[in-house]
Structure 1
Amino acid sequence: MELTKMNMKHILVIVLVFFCTAQLAMAQKTNHQVFTLEGCITTAIAANQQLVLAQNQAAIDNTNYQQAKSNLLPYVGANISHGLNEGRSINPYTNAYSDQKIDFAQYNVSASFLLWNGNALQQNIQQNRLNAKASNMDAQQARDNLVIQVILSYLQVLSLQEQIKAAQQQAQVSEAQVQRLTLLNNDGAIAPATLFDMKGQYGNDQLNVINLQNQLTNAKLSLFALMNTNFVENAFFEPIVNEMQKQDSSVTANSAYQLALNNMPMVKAYQYRWESNLKKVKVAKAQLLPSLSFNVGLGTNYSSLANTLQYVNTTEVATGGYVNYNGSKLPVYMQQNNYVNQNISYGQQWKNNFNASLSLVLQIPILNGLQARTKVRQAQIQVKQSAFLLNSTKTQLQQSVYSTYINMLQAEKTEKVSIAQLSDFTQSFHAATVKFEAGVGTSVDYIIAKTNMDKASINAIVARYNVLLLQKVLDYYQGVLKF
């Protein structure tokens, strides 16, 4: 009868503890700042440092590509100069020396059209186009890497949240037993060692909760670091609904690898850089060839000393000579046109001094310190290096995909065994609890059964999330990652 009353008290205590815990959990969630997976990914994409740097580099390379296309346009330039000379200087109007003050102005417009340079400009355009595509792939790869890192970090937080919840429930069960055994010990119904054994088990459960909480804090710090945002101590991360998915049975390690080759931006980036370096070799070789350009120039000038003679009238003036006529000396006159100096107007000089030029320029490289040939050899080495990196990336990708696939199959098997083990140990614990509370079983048997069930519970949670993690990684490699 005494044991029956104590069992009823035990049940009431457990029910009360679980009710208070549920209410406390709801209150904590209400007071905590809630984060979702989609929200974490969106925040990380907007603020992550590595992703922003990769996106900026892609923008720079796309700008370089646009500039490479613009290099096909002719060069057009204008030059305007106004000046004042004092003392002895050259009159820009007459090109003669003058000791007067001169105001002058010069205007020139020139254009240069590159007709041919071994197709270097066209090859440079293709090279920059491939570089831009590679940088875009780098930015996409950085984004994909960030997304999978956030997802894995988020799942790690969820796993620890569930482990803590399970550990707290395990501690509550031990606490309830300590309370029950304390009453029995006070009545002298049990040996004191039984109570102390249970208190020791309760201490182990509390330490397990503390350790898991510390791991959770570190996992949250890592997630906030990925989001590049301030740490929120009371953050609560919303569980993912229906996060488990059944893996397509048709997927094999080789098929996953083939999809990764076609979908991984990292592989495409190395492929584009290899092709870009092939174009770079052609650009370097073009520097060994002659170039032909067509130049056009227009110009005029002004000088304050520029003047012209303006006709005034015609007069007769004595020449100083004479002729004899009938014995008389008669002076000889001649007609003389009279002029005055008149400055030429600014507008008139603009028209009068207008000049134009046309030229074809053939530039033949002969010797420039072998710089062009050195650039060719450097570009050829870069081709070999980029080909090596491309092949190495493919090899490493294959190893990663195969390793993930094998680990996922192993994790699925581990999950099945863990679930079955949890079910078995749960039944064993229930049986041990009945015996222990009926006074038939020992505290040692009860603690062993509880420890086995507690470990199995944590292992089942870890196994379930491990499968989910590996599924997400395999989806990431195949380019079918969803969230």
Structure 2
Amino acid sequence: MKRIIILIGWILVASVVSAQSWSLDDCMKYAAEHATDVKRETINARQRKQDYHHAVAAFLPTVSGGVQGQYAWGRNIDPETNTYNNVTTFNNYYQLYAELNVFDGFATINAFKQARLSRDFSATAMQKAQDNIAIDVMQKYVDAVYAEASIQIASEKLSESRRMLAKMQRLYELGEKGRPDVAQMESQVAEDEYSLTHQQNMARQSLLALKSAMNYPIGDELKLDIQSKEKSLASCQLTIGDKPNSENIYQNFLNISPDMKSAEYEVELAHYDYKIAKGRLLPSLSLSGGITTNYYKNLSLKGQYDGFASQFRNNRGEYLALTLSIPIYNSDRWHSMKKARNNWQLAQMNLEETRRKLHDQIAQAIMDVEGYAKELHQMHKKVASDSIAYHMSSRKFEEGMLSTFDLHTSAQTLLESRIKELQMQMLLVIKQRLVGYYQGERLIK
């Protein structure tokens, strides 16, 4: 009984979760945690941290050791008499050595600075990935809500057409309307049924695109919160009168824009690549030292030899070396230097292009908000006028003062106006949210 109660509780919880409505903020927050790009950037951040540790370790000396065992037979040299003989010998060598890079044209230092820059950039890269996925999800969420709202409009239009068809059939039975009028109305109902089916298919496709952007399980239900859309529209319409200055917004957003920081990072990264490649054209200086020893035994003779411990101690030798390497000509290094310089210049051009695109995007978003707000205001008036016109046309049609074709034209005009009004509302939601983002507001709250 206890297990059954627990199972029922889990079923109820699952049903509540599956039935909950998802707002725009909910979808963006889910995408920021589960999107593939965000997960990929998390792995990249770990890799940048590992690269930084590797760059720090490059300042330390490299230490290596080696052991070699060798059996030799046939003609060879006796290490004790330095004469040729024909015997079987065993040689055992041991070596422990270290090497320290003293100077390499500042390549190691620049590689360290580059790795540190990449590590510090991880937070910005993560923010950029989250912002990009949030904007993408916002667009697809609005498309899905728009498609669902269009279904409601198409359904209302179909219901009205069916009501008029039923009334037309009744008038035809009474002899007040002809068969062509009934056929025309049946055609209108068929057209509205097609429009409803088309909108339903569009809604399913839009919802699938939203799930894909969120990395949401395709088989799970995702119910959108239509009421949150109405609240968003209300909040947008309250701020229609505001006219922000695009230049001020651009100057303020320039210092916090993830896209700008990413472009600046690419320039610095390419600059360090150029410094590293140029440093490899300079002479390099390295310091090395080591300890060597060996053990020898002639297996063909049964003479007396010092033991392993004695030879290991007595044959030990140390060395210390300072090596200067001067690159006279190396085509690969010259090619790498020139290629790195070109990449640096390209990164600078991309930075300027990113700065210009950001300026245009902010100006365009502000213009769109102002334009869509005005268009939406006019569409409100047009929908109200078309609604009155359709109502009057419907009354005239019922009284026999208007043809079926004219009634269809009036109904179609009203439908197009409502669809256009809904489209303006959705576009206003997106652009108003983008302007807020450019003003410093977080997309994911």
Q: TM-score, normalised by structure 2?
A: 0.82
Out of 98, 112, 117, which is 1:111 matched to?
A: 98
Q: Comparing 240-249 with 346-355, which one deviates more in the overlay?
A: 240-249
* Inter-partner Cα distance in structure 1 for 2:113 and 2:368: 42
Q: Which residue of 2 aligns with 1:150?
A: 137
User: Relative to total residues, which structure has the larger strand share, 1 or 2?
Assistant: 1
How has the CA–CA distance of structure 1 residues 95 and 263 changed in structure 2, closer, same or farther, with 3 Å as cutoff? farther
How has the CA–CA distance of structure 1 residues 369 and 439 changed in structure 2, closer, same or farther, with 3 Å as cutoff? closer
Contact 1:127 1:277 survives alignment (8 Å):
no
* Inter-partner Cα distance in structure 1 for 2:407 and 2:33: 53
Contact 1:264 1:479 survives alignment (8 Å):
no
* Inter-partner Cα distance in structure 2 for 1:227 and 1:96: 80
Following superposition, the deviation at residue 362 of structure 1 comes to 2.8
Runs of 4+ in 1 over 6 A off after TM superposition: 32-35
How has the CA–CA distance of structure 1 residues 99 and 478 changed in structure 2, closer, same or farther, with 3 Å as cutoff? farther
Contact 1:267 1:390 survives alignment (8 Å):
yes
SS across alignment from 1:213: helix
Q: Comparing 226-235 with 147-156, which one deviates more in the overlay?
A: 226-235
Following superposition, the deviation at residue 473 of structure 1 comes to 3.1
* Inter-partner Cα distance in structure 2 for 1:148 and 1:94: 83
Q: Does 1:173 align with 2:169?
A: no
* Inter-partner Cα distance in structure 2 for 1:433 and 1:172: 14
Contact 1:137 1:269 survives alignment (8 Å):
yes
* Alignment map for 1:280-299 (pairs within 5 Å): 280-299=273-292
Q: Comparing 163-172 with 186-195, which one deviates more in the overlay?
A: 186-195
Pick the structure with greater CA Rg: 1
Q: Which residue of 2 aligns with 1:356?
A: 318
How has the CA–CA distance of structure 1 residues 233 and 344 changed in structure 2, closer, same or farther, with 3 Å as cutoff? closer
Q: Aligned residues: percent identity?
A: 22
Q: Which residue of 2 aligns with 1:389?
A: 350
Instruction: Give the number of aligned pairs.
Output: 421
2:138 partner amino acid: I
SS across alignment from 2:329: coil
Q: Does 1:74 align with 2:27?
A: no
Contact 1:153 1:223 survives alignment (8 Å):
yes
* Inter-partner Cα distance in structure 2 for 1:114 and 1:399: 49
2:59 partner amino acid: L
Following superposition, the deviation at residue 355 of structure 1 comes to 1.8
Q: Which residue of 1 aligns with 2:265?
A: 272
Q: Does 1:429 align with 2:390?
A: yes
* Alignment map for 1:32-431 (pairs within 5 Å): 36=22, 37=24, 40-41=27-28, 44-45=31-32, 48=35, 56-57=43-44, 59-91=46-78, 97-132=84-119, 137-138=124-125, 140-227=127-214, 231-232=218-219, 236-239=223-226, 241=228, 242-244=231-233, 245-246=235-236, 247=239, 249=242, 251-305=244-298, 342-365=304-327, 367-369=328-330, 371-431=332-392
* Inter-partner Cα distance in structure 2 for 1:259 and 1:220: 36
1:414 partner amino acid: E
* Inter-partner Cα distance in structure 1 for 2:372 and 2:413: 20
Q: Comparing 432-441 with 176-185, which one deviates more in the overlay?
A: 432-441
Cα-to-partner distance string for 1:215-256 (whole Å, 9 max, x where unaligned):
223323433443456645975433362223334836322233
How has the CA–CA distance of structure 1 residues 92 and 128 changed in structure 2, closer, same or farther, with 3 Å as cutoff? farther
Unaligned runs of 5+ in 2: 1-14
How has the CA–CA distance of structure 1 residues 214 and 86 changed in structure 2, closer, same or farther, with 3 Å as cutoff? same
Cα-to-partner distance string for 1:266-316 (whole Å, 9 max, x where unaligned):
21111112122333333233334333322221122112249xxxxxxxxxx
User: Relative to total residues, which structure has the larger helix share, 1 or 2?
Assistant: 2
* Inter-partner Cα distance in structure 1 for 2:219 and 2:295: 74
Q: TM-score, normalised by structure 1?
A: 0.76
* Inter-partner Cα distance in structure 1 for 2:227 and 2:38: 25
CA RMSD across the alignment:
3.4
Contact 2:244 2:366 survives alignment (8 Å):
no
* Inter-partner Cα distance in structure 2 for 1:385 and 1:460: 45
* Inter-partner Cα distance in structure 1 for 2:258 and 2:71: 63
Following superposition, the deviation at residue 99 of structure 1 comes to 3.1
Contact 2:28 2:444 survives alignment (8 Å):
no
* Inter-partner Cα distance in structure 1 for 2:120 and 2:362: 25
